[in-house]
Every structure is written in C-alpha cells, then in structure tokens.
C-alpha cells in the first residue's frame, strides 16, 4: 500500500500536535522518531518526500499486520495491549505473515492510518463549500484536551466525525483554544476561514473568539447542566456535586465492574435521580410563577 500525504499533515499534525510530550517513551514524545517512518520509506522515483508535490510517501510494508493493528486499536486496545494481542494471534494461528511485532511497529501503523485519514478529510474539506465544528473540553488521566468534531455534507449526506482530541498544554483561555483549532484547520484546509459557518461548544469562553459570518452556539444542554449544578450547590453542601461527579467518573473507569451490571445500573440510577430532581425543580418553579 502506497499513499501520498500532504507534507503539513505529516509534519504539523503527526509530528507535532499528536505527540505525547509527557511520555517517557521516545516513540511517543519525539518528533524525529515520529517523522522517521515517513522519511525513510523509498519509492522508484523518490526517497520518502515527493519534492514536486510537497508530500510524503506512506508505504505500509506489511498489510496484514497493518489491518490487524487498526482493528485492535479501533476496538479500544492500547498500543501495548495491541502488541501483546498481535503476538498471541501470530502464535495461536501460526500466521507467520504477521511478521515481527513490537511497540514501534504498532505506533508506526497508528501514525500511518492517522496520516491517511487526515489526508482523506483534507481532500473532503477542500471539496465542500462549508462545514462546522463542535468543541468539547475535557480531562483524562490529569491531561486536559480539546475534543473537536467536524460536520459537513457530501452528496447530500451529512457527516459528523470525530476529528481529534488536542492536548492543551497552556492556560485554557478562549484565545488559546481558538489558536490550536485554527492551526489544525489551517493544515487540513487553507481557506477554512471562508468555509467555517458554525462553532458549537460546551462552554462560553470557547465561543468568545470567532470569525465574521460564523455562528457561535453555546450548547443548551450544558447551560442547563450549569443551572442544575448551581441549584444543587445551594441546596446541598459545596462538595455534593464534585463528589457525585468524582464517584461516577471513578465507576466508569472500573472495567471489571462495568462488564457486569452493577456499575451500569448504579450510574443509570444516579442519572435518573438527578434528572427527576431537575424536573421537580422545574415543576416547582412553574407552579411558583403561576401563584
């Protein structure tokens, strides 16, 4: 499999934005290592970089190994887990064509599929007349990130895809978040400013910076959530909401319990109770307004 990928996608997204700078593994935190798999591939007419088109040549050396890695990662396995499962698959099924497997090759396959996927998205964005994005800030394992979803229409079919979870390495100001998103969109579509028609976010500060002619939407569900949180903070102790959120977040991370029904039922019960209390307050407010 041989595919050409824009130079900016490889160097700025794969070799910069998606690096895990907090990792101790050079395979994850080093731009030199990340770019090496693209630069060292050879073709009859060029070595790695196609100088005429400003693109990198992506060559997948082992197609079976590549397909298995993509499927395992898509199923939710980590790089380390994927490496172990590949070894077990090879030994159990006697599939010598899987080849030698290690962490470096698994990460390389992940970068190959990311580069090819972003190239496809870039080509689509260049062909459509408009698109919108949805932003959602979050935390995972003490790392802050900005989740970006992309919405556009092709052949009268609306597509809603997850674009990237960008790590936020600075103070979470509206300007900073706008800058990292604009850098990403600038790589995928040079004239994105004239095509972006809407930004939806879960926080007000994410919509404070925008472009002329672009609709800014602060998620109504998030605004209602903030109102409900304020109600609980007034009626209960200051730590009530944070304790409930911490407990539900902890339970969601307990894989062994989630495989059963206890955690699922408990989380559902908590959501039901919170929802019932919310509607009770709404009904009470409506009654008081009538009186």
Which residues, at least 6 apart from 97, have a Cβ–Cβ distance to it below 8 Å? 62, 64
Could you tell me which residue, 246 or 210, shows the higher pLDDT? Answer: 246
Domain interval for residue 264: 222-290
CATH of the domain at 201: 3.10.20
Q: Looking at residues 279-291, what average pLDDT do you find?
A: 67
Is 95 in contact with 65 (CB distance < 8 Å)? no
The model's pTM: 0.69
Give the CA dihedral 35, 38, 41, 45, nearest 10 degrees. -120
Is the domain of 14 the same as that of 78?
yes
Q: Is the four-CA dihedral 82, 83, 87, 90 of positive or negative sign?
A: positive
26 and 58 belong to one structural domain: yes
Q: What gap in Å lies between CA 20 and CA 31, rounded to an integer? A: 10
Ramachandran quadrant class, 156 (left: phi over 0; alpha: psi -120 to 50; beta: rest): left
Whether 206 and 245 map to the same domain: the answer is no
* Nearest residue to 18 (alpha-carbon basis) of 255, 184, 171: 184
Rounded distance, CA 244 to CA 251, Å? 11
* 8 Å CB contact between 143 and 43: no
Task: Give yes or no: residues 118 and 61 share one domain.
Answer: yes
Domain boundary among 124, 157, 173: 124
- Residue 214 tokens read as 């672009």
If asked whether residues 79 and 150 sit together in one domain, one would say: no
pLDDT tens for 184-243 read 999 999 888 888 887 777 665 555 555 555 566 666 666 677 777 777 777 666 676 667
54 and 82 in a common domain: yes
pLDDT in tens, 137-148: 776 666 778 888
Helix pair angle (220-235, 262-290), 10° resolution? 80
Starting at the edge strand found earlier in the chain, the sheet holding 196-201 runs: 157-167, 143-154, 131-140, 196-201, 215-218
- Tens digits of per-residue pLDDT, 108-137? 899 999 999 999 999 999 899 889 888 887
**Does residue 151 sit in helix, strand or coil?**
strand
Tell which of 218, 244, 277 closes a domain: 218
- 78 and 66 both lie in a single domain: yes
Model confidence band, residue 42 (pLDDT cutoffs 50, 70, 90) = very low
CA atoms of 280 and 272, how far apart (whole Å) = 12
183 and 234 housed in the same domain? no
Measured at the CA of 55, the angle between CA 104 and CA 178, to 5 degrees, comes to 80
Same domain, 108 and 154: no
Contacts of residue 140, Cβ cutoff 8 Å, sequence gap at least 6 = none
Tokens, residue 31: 């731009």
Do 40 and 135 fall into the same domain?
Answer: no
Q: Average pLDDT of the chain?
A: 76
Are 281 and 231 within 8 A, CB to CB?
yes
Band (277; pLDDT cuts 50, 70, 90): low
Helix (H, G, I), strand (E, B), or coil: what is residue 170? Answer: coil
Residue 186 and residue 108 share a domain = no
Same domain, 164 and 230: no
Q: Give tens-digit pLDDT for 88-104.
A: 888 887 778 888 888 88
What's the number of domains the chain is made of? 3
- Residue 115 pLDDT: 92
Say if residues 174 and 190 touch (Cβ distance below 8 Å).
Answer: no
State the pLDDT at residue 43: 45
pLDDT at 122: 93
Among 124, 152, 182, the domain-final residue is 124
Averaged pLDDT for residues 15-31 = 83
């Amino acid at each position: 499999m041989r595919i050409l990928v824009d130079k900016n996608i490889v160097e700025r997204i794969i070799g910069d934005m998606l690096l895990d700078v907090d990792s101790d593994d050079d395979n994850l935190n080093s731009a030199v290592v990340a770019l090496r798999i693209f630069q060292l591939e050879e073709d009859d007419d060029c070595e790695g970089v196609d100088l005429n088109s400003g693109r990198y040549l992506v060559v997948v050396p082992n197609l079976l190994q590549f397909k298995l890695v993509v499927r395992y990662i898509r199923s939710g396995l980590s790089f380390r887990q994927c490496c172990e499962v590949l070894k077990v698959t090879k030994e159990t099924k006697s599939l010598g064509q899987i080849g030698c497997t290690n962490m470096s090759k698994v990460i390389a396959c992940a970068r190959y599929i990311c580069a090819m996927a972003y190239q496809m998205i870039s080509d689509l964005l260049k062909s459509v007349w408009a698109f919108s994005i949805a932003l959602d800030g979050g935390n995972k394992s003490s790392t802050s990130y900005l989740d970006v979803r992309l919405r556009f229409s092709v052949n009268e079919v609306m597509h809603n895809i997850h674009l990237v979870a960008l790590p936020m390495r600075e103070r979470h100001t509206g300007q900073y978040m706008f800058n990292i998103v604009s850098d990403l969109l600038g790589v995928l579509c040079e004239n994105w400013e004239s095509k972006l028609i809407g930004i939806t976010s879960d926080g007000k500060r994410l919509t404070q910076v925008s472009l002329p002619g672009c609709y800014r939407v602060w998620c109504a569900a998030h605004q209602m959530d903030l109102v409900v949180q304020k109600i609980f903070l007034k009626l209960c102790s200051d730590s009530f909401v944070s304790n409930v959120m911490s407990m539900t977040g902890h339970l969601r991370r307990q894989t062994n319990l989630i495989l059963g029904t206890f955690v699922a039922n408990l989380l559902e019960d908590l959501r039901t109770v919170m929802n019932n209390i919310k509607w009770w307050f709404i009904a009470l407010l409506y009654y008081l307004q009538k009186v």
